[in-house]
Structures are given as C-alpha cells and as structure tokens.
Amino acid sequence: MVWERRLRGVSWIFFWLMLASAFWYMAVSEDPESISDPKIIPFFVFLGLFCVLQVGAIYVDRYEKEIIRKKGIPATATVISYKSTGTLYFNKPALKIELEVHPPWGSVFVTTIEHVVAYHDLNRVKPGTRVRVHYMEGTGRVALADL
C-alpha cells in the first residue's frame, strides 16, 4: 500500500548509501580488511536502517490491509488477471492481481493490488474467480477479505 511503498523506497536509498560507504571505506582505509576502524561505522548504520525498513515495510503493509478490512466497505470483485512480482515472502509468492471491484453502490472500477498468496491458494485467484474484498471509498485502496 502507500506507506509500505514509501518505506521500501527509503530503505533502498539507505542500501545505495551503504554501498557508497563501503566503497568509500575501501578507498580511504589503510587496511580495508579491518572491521575495528571507526570509518566503517556508516556502513553498518546504513545496513541496519536498510534491514529495519525492509522488515518494517512488511508489517506496515499488513497493518494497512487490516485497517482496510476493518473500516472498508465490503464488496465482491472478479479477478481479471494476475502475475508474479518475482518476490517471495516466507516462501509464498507476491502477486499483482488485477481486480474488477463491484461495490454495493456506485460504479464498477478496476484496480491492481499486490498480495502474498500461498501456493495452495493460487487456484482462488484464477482469472474469472469472484473474491470478497473491502475497499476504501474515494481512494481505490482494496484488500482481499479472505486470502
């Protein structure tokens, strides 16, 4: 969702800063093999920030989806298509699922969500399948209800 993407974006900035600090350390250090040199501290700080933000993004995404499930409007949706993002979370593939959402009132809209689905649940997101969703009116944010 929104904050999850922002956290991931910031974490990748720290990743590139980590790489830059590693190259800087190798360039200015007399003994690049030594870890006790204080010039290596920025590398470990950026590494820690990258890891914390990557893991934090997973939990922020779960939190955002839970808020949509609790406060959102229940609806049904038809799966138009899905494709793998190439990312695995806890050995489960992350999928980009294109949905046609049918709200109880208002017009039908199409949205794409990213969702982690267990391998044994892949048949529940086949094109043409109807799924229950919750959505936030006016924002287009959607969360699957039971996957």
Cα–Cα distance measured from residue 115 to residue 123, given in angstroms and rounded to the nearest whole number: 14
Same domain, 83 and 28: no
Boundary residue ending a domain (53, 68, 83): 68
Neighbour tally for 40: CB within 10 Å: 18
Same domain, 57 and 81: no
pLDDT for the residue 3? 83
Same domain, 34 and 63: yes
Same domain, 58 and 76: no
Cα–Cα distance measured from residue 64 to residue 115, given in angstroms and rounded to the nearest whole number: 12
Same domain, 46 and 97: no
| Number of folded domains that form the chain | 2
pTM of the model: 0.70
Could you tell me whether strands 142-144 and 130-135 are parallel, antiparallel, or unpaired per DSSP bridges? Answer: antiparallel
Cα–Cα distance measured from residue 95 to residue 76, given in angstroms and rounded to the nearest whole number: 19
| Residue ranges of the chain with per-residue pLDDT less than 50 | none
pLDDT for the residue 106? 82
Same domain, 28 and 60: yes
Task: Please give the helix or strand (H or E) that residue 14 lies within, else none.
Answer: helix 2-28
Same domain, 139 and 83: yes
For 35, the domain range is: 2-68
Distances (CA, A) of 104 to 48, 107, 108, 134: 46, 9, 9, 11
Same domain, 81 and 106: yes
Same domain, 40 and 97: no
Tell me the chain's radius of gyration from C-alpha atoms: 21
Task: Please give the helix or strand (H or E) that residue 46 lies within, else none.
Answer: helix 41-71
